[in-house]
Structure 1
């Protein structure tokens, strides 16, 4: 049995302690079904021009139930609409299970997920939130995406400490799936803690990083 230990998240906790804003989303929706298309509209505020050219999706409790590969049935129409809006290499799944080489070294889970969704799954050495460079390397290897800056990428996921911290540290936009597939009482203790932490930090005046200017 492979233990799914996340060294990247453990190391990045020190950044989070010094700058709690790193885990905050730029926008939030209740479930995957509530995503606006195009995603630009989720982030437009105060006259800021946003041009999202590619999207990175988490899997578990985002568009699928944990330990499954199929798109959650109520989200299937939205998933297909998102694929149509961001076709081919402009949509990418980045999971800390499928495609994470420390957990899925032979890419078996990644292959199964790609077959089930029709979306490329990134094989990555470093787990979220530390794989920003690998994500940008993928988009740069596909110039047809038009991605020239992390600020043209939206990260969609259910976790503040991985997905939203990934967005902030790489200079992208983070869209938090706040409620997801799994009922609150069945979520992990970390997920339940994040449900309270996000609103608490915002109430204390913290704001997410400006995309394009990642914290280092």
Structure 2
């Protein structure tokens, strides 16, 4: 039985953001699942994001350089409350680490991908969540993908963004937060953390669709989204279609 994993402070931040800075709850890029993540993210991020000025037609639009990926675990890489990666998702990670054109190639950028979860590695006092982190790292050891550990006294997503930026800087991966893309299925944690840390956001709207295990391994039509995730879909559509808002962009990319 999964641990109770409430995050009331994140919910409260989502509500206050909805009232004060609703554009922070709109992702820079929306994709169905992690399997649809483009290898070259930069052009896709600016194509749907807001700008405050018009770029002259004779001047190419700047394109972000993404050197680091923050990946959520539950319902982005794995079915919720598991550390089981469906085969297509593992192959996608392998492609990001081995494709000759990937910015996250293992040989050129060994620390370019980090899993940041609100379960695995998120509670220093939870043996269960530390075990999850170790299981994931064991599975992904050939790809050298680490799980972020929230330190004692620190808070989980969406409040750990500065610590995540510091992790990448310490590894020499990035100099600025706008070189990071946060990929996840939840607006109230993943998209909001990207806004808080000054990074780009990618929303996996449908979560994980594939199953694992003998009975579900061939399934690609599953839906693990809970009540809050489905409410976020309604909220995002309302902000985009009724309020006509565009996603915020990292500082310096407004025009």
Q: TM-score, normalization: structure 1?
A: 0.89
The 10-residue stretch of structure 1 (29-38 or 90-99) with the greater mean CA deviation from structure 2: 29-38
Measured after TM superposition, the shift of residue 136 of structure 1 is: 0.9
Structure 1 unaligned blocks of 5 or more: none
SS of 1:139 mapped into structure 2: helix
Corresponding residue number in structure 2 for 1:73:
87
The question of whether the paired residues in 2 share the 8 Å contact of 1:168 and 1:209 is answered with yes
Mapped pair 1:175 → 2:176: no
The one-character-per-residue Cα deviations of 1:76-108 (angstroms, maximum 9, x if unpaired) are: 221111233313211000000001026735722
Corresponding residue number in structure 1 for 2:157:
128
The 10-residue stretch of structure 1 (54-63 or 38-47) with the greater mean CA deviation from structure 2: 38-47
The one-character-per-residue Cα deviations of 1:5-62 (angstroms, maximum 9, x if unpaired) are: 2144034132332111111100011111111102223214371321001000001111
Structure 2 unaligned blocks of 5 or more: 48-54, 56-60, 210-220
The question of whether the paired residues in 1 share the 8 Å contact of 2:27 and 2:187 is answered with yes
Corresponding residue number in structure 2 for 1:206:
245
Measured after TM superposition, the shift of residue 213 of structure 1 is: 6.1
Q: 1:138 aligns with which of 167, 179, 184?
A: 167
Corresponding residue number in structure 2 for 1:27:
29
Corresponding residue number in structure 1 for 2:135:
112
Corresponding residue number in structure 2 for 1:58:
72
SS of 1:127 mapped into structure 2: coil
Q: 1:160 aligns with which of 162, 175, 187?
A: 187
* Cα gap change, 1:177 to 1:123, in 2 (>3 Å): same
* Cα gap change, 1:71 to 1:34, in 2 (>3 Å): same
Q: 1:195 aligns with which of 188, 213, 233?
A: 233
Corresponding residue number in structure 1 for 2:41:
39
Aligned partners of 1:140, 1:54: CA distance in 2, in Å? 10
SS of 1:123 mapped into structure 2: coil
SS of 2:111 mapped into structure 1: helix
* Cα gap change, 1:25 to 1:41, in 2 (>3 Å): same
* Cα gap change, 1:7 to 1:134, in 2 (>3 Å): farther
Cα RMSD for the two superposed structures: 2.2
SS of 1:107 mapped into structure 2: helix
SS of 1:37 mapped into structure 2: coil
Larger Rg: 2
Show structure 1 runs of 4+ deviating over 4 A. 182-186
Q: TM-score, normalization: structure 2?
A: 0.76
